[in-house]
Structure 1
Amino acid sequence: MSEPYRPLGETPLFHGTFVERPNRFIMRCRVPRHGTVEAFVANPGRMDELLFPGVTPVILTRVPDHIERRTRWTCVACETPDGEPLFLDTHRTNDVAAHLIDQGLVADLKGWRVDRREVRVGHSRFDLQLARGRRRLLVEVKSCTLLGGKDVAMFPDAVTERGRRHLEELAQLDTGDERPVVLFVVHSSRIRWFMPDYHTDLAFSRTFLSIRDRLRVLPVSVGWSRDLALAPTGTPVRIPWEFLEEQIQDTGAYLLLLHLQQAHTVSIGQLGEHRFAAGFYIYVGSAMANLTKRVERHLRRRKRLHWHIDYLRQVADDITALPIRASERQECDLAQAMSQYASTALDGFGSSDCNCGSHLFFRADAPLNDVSFHRLLQRFRMRSPDEAI
């Protein structure tokens, strides 16, 4: 039996715990016998649903002392909240993709082999060029680590205008009879469905739909061991195109997370004055048209005060918006679910046009640092198409 493929070779691995991420390129981790170390993050994604301070196990590598580098450590993997090893190193994902293709583990690319890497075509550069006799095929590789629901993966986890443009450029190439390929390497073996993250990046998702007849989009799921050996299989993942046609719209619900660093007394329209304790407030709203503009309005301080949330927004130190796009109304279902997670902050807040007790909820600690909050969010954002039928 051949040795399992390890993209990092025999590089020693160190296990630690995530502490914080000051910016998208750096994280701090606790490593036994090394204390708290600063590590380069080999993945520019947001990864909010993966990295929990003091909780998430991480895997790191370390360069030898004689090599000059600002950060000696690199975070290359972590564990999901379900305990599944997750490869994060986007710089090595092309190696993983090349291995899968050359070993015949991507069903739709069997018979092709990697011919060249970093191929420049016009003003663009693409990850792989494959060969099959005299035929040539361009492949762009993407790494997908946004996993949720029962069996769903999404990409991207942050807005990527560069990624959207790259799809368009690839789709516009004149490549003869061979449609270029976008290969999404999904780093989990339990995934059955792949979708663009239309909640986070609507423009990318609309482009994803528009290029489907000009590009071949191939998601493949892979599994990892705790020593970062690749499982010897690649499983095709389905894209629910009809479901996406219905759901990729600028409509749906949203959550606003507001942080008050100190208590404030605020007059809330007809609800009168109310004292809001320091902490985190979760507001549930919806817009069945122009969701993006509605959310952008909520984020601004300067505006005519109209809704209950407008008054609380004036005293919030920080605010984060989390759209949940859907073709059907789910605001009240979302509020009901949130009432099981957090306490009601003020009766009647934001719920004058429905039968809900309130659409505003309170937590003392940051929801974005809580696994339970992300599971709840994914329940609405990452529904399996099976559940929606």
Structure 2
Amino acid sequence: MTLFKKIIKAKFLSRPNRFLVNCIVDGSKISAYLPNPGRLYELFFVNSTLYLEKNEKRDRKTKYTVVAVERDNSPVMLHTHRTNDIVEYLIKKNLVPKLKNISEIRREVKFGKSRFDFSIMKENKRILLEVKSCTLFSKSVAMFPDAVTERGKRHLEELAAISTKKCKNVVLFLVNAPEAKIFLPDYHTDPNFAETFLKIRGKLSIIPLAIKWNKNMEINESCIRQLKIPWNLLKKEFKDSGCYLIILKSPTDKILSIGRLGKICFKKGYYIYVGSAKKNLLKRIQRHHREKKKLFWHIDYIRKEMDFITDFPVRTSQDLECKLSKEIKKISSGEIIGFGSSDCKCSSHLFYSEGNPLAEPKFMKLLLYYRLERLTTML
């Protein structure tokens, strides 16, 4: 299947907003349109290889559109506007398990007040199909979504509401991870979507479909397969407890008083804090977002003095806080001795990085392990 034309390669520089990237093409800096609103932290690093398609319409603000990014020497398709084209092709070629021998396929179908990606006919039964593109994955585990999606949650609810036992509607997750073995909702990032995912089990047919792209941006049809969903593991690990990372930025050098630790010098740069909560994990993280509050934990003393960058929950039934702290320490430039570790044997739970950790492959690789790949050890 040839879906993209006039592909050229570029080197990633930055992403100034959700729908725009800056990159280098033939030695020149250009901007390209990115048709993907996901976070994509795990894919975009300086000098990552991008696949661009030249825009044929002259009224476009950018000359090129990003269609893929290379990871582990393989393209990961990012062009969400083309996802339905791919799924339609796969269905017509009988390459989707559970969706073979389809007699009719229509796109952008309105049903009631909702609009769905496809309406298909199988064995004289009308089935509604919604498609989602998945780009969040480790070596063996794929998850969706990589950002909160109220729209995605609503689609599941609406499809389930009009399904019947004899005719189940379908949600298909197109997983751009050829080596993935299992699929799960990203309960770390979007617990509401994950909760809905669990509720609609049995009401919808869920198809996580892994595909592999060749470097010429053609699908390797011999590598298409359906992934397993470990439902028992999902129920076990999907808790409002676990550990978390908070990333803060200090725009200047500062000397701050930290409770009994006294005055501490904080260099200009980024700080990674590792914490945990045995219950009410979401509320704990939300508390860290607030600048005004009663000072209790060490992190409370620096929160209002630094910029809040982001947070990463790791929902789990396991006690991982100290183990994760030791791993973060290995990839950091320094630590604040005694910070956040008064109740354990760790030297610290606050670590320093001169640059933004989100731009560091080693940080994202570690995060992917604890949120995704670690789950394979529990199967």
Counterpart for residue 62 of structure 1: 54
SS at match of 1:109: coil
CA offsets, 1:23-71, max 9 Å, x none? 11111111116x2222111211110110112x2100111124x722222
CA offsets, 1:243-279, max 9 Å, x none? 0011111111000111111110000000000111111
Separation in 1, partners of 2:337, 2:357: 21
Counterpart for residue 209 of structure 1: 198
Indicate how the Cα distance of structure 1 residues 374 and 114 shifts in structure 2: closer, same or farther if over 3 A, else same: farther
Shift of 1:161: 0.7
CA offsets, 1:51-110, max 9 Å, x none? 112x2100111124x722222211011101x22211111111111111111111112212
> Which of 216, 220, 227 is the matching residue for 2:209?
220
Amino acid at match of 1:71: T
Separation in 2, partners of 1:190, 1:174: 32
Gaps of 5+ in 2: none
Counterpart for residue 48 of structure 1: 41
Counterpart for residue 232 of structure 1: 221
When the two chains are superposed, the root-mean-square deviation of aligned CA atoms in Å is 1.4
Counterpart for residue 302 of structure 1: 292
Counterpart for residue 38 of structure 1: 31
1:21 is the counterpart of 2:15: yes
SS at match of 1:101: helix
Separation in 2, partners of 1:144, 1:319: 24
Indicate how the Cα distance of structure 1 residues 351 and 115 shifts in structure 2: closer, same or farther if over 3 A, else same: same
Counterpart for residue 108 of structure 2: 118
Indicate how the Cα distance of structure 1 residues 244 and 42 shifts in structure 2: closer, same or farther if over 3 A, else same: same
Counterpart for residue 74 of structure 1: 65
Counterpart for residue 106 of structure 1: 96
1:329 is the counterpart of 2:325: no
Separation in 2, partners of 1:241, 1:372: 30
Amino acid at match of 1:126: F
1:265 is the counterpart of 2:258: no
Separation in 1, partners of 2:372, 2:177: 15
Indicate how the Cα distance of structure 1 residues 50 and 236 shifts in structure 2: closer, same or farther if over 3 A, else same: same
Report the TM-score, using the length of structure 1 for normalisation: 0.94
Indicate how the Cα distance of structure 1 residues 376 and 385 shifts in structure 2: closer, same or farther if over 3 A, else same: closer
Counterpart for residue 3 of structure 2: 7
Report the TM-score, using the length of structure 2 for normalisation: 0.97
Counterpart for residue 370 of structure 1: 360
Separation in 1, partners of 2:9, 2:25: 6
Counterpart for residue 118 of structure 2: 128
Counterpart for residue 185 of structure 1: 174
CA contact (8 A) 1:344 1:358 kept: no
CA contact (8 A) 1:130 1:139 kept: yes
SS at match of 1:170: helix
Counterpart for residue 91 of structure 1: 81
CA offsets, 1:207-258, max 9 Å, x none? 1111111111100111001110011132110011000011111111000111
Amino acid at match of 1:78: V
Separation in 2, partners of 1:288, 1:77: 39
1:199 is the counterpart of 2:188: yes
Amino acid at match of 1:59: Y
Shift of 1:176: 6.4
Separation in 2, partners of 1:113, 1:229: 25
CA contact (8 A) 2:333 2:354 kept: no
Separation in 1, partners of 2:202, 2:189: 24
SS at match of 1:206: helix
Shift of 1:384: 5.1
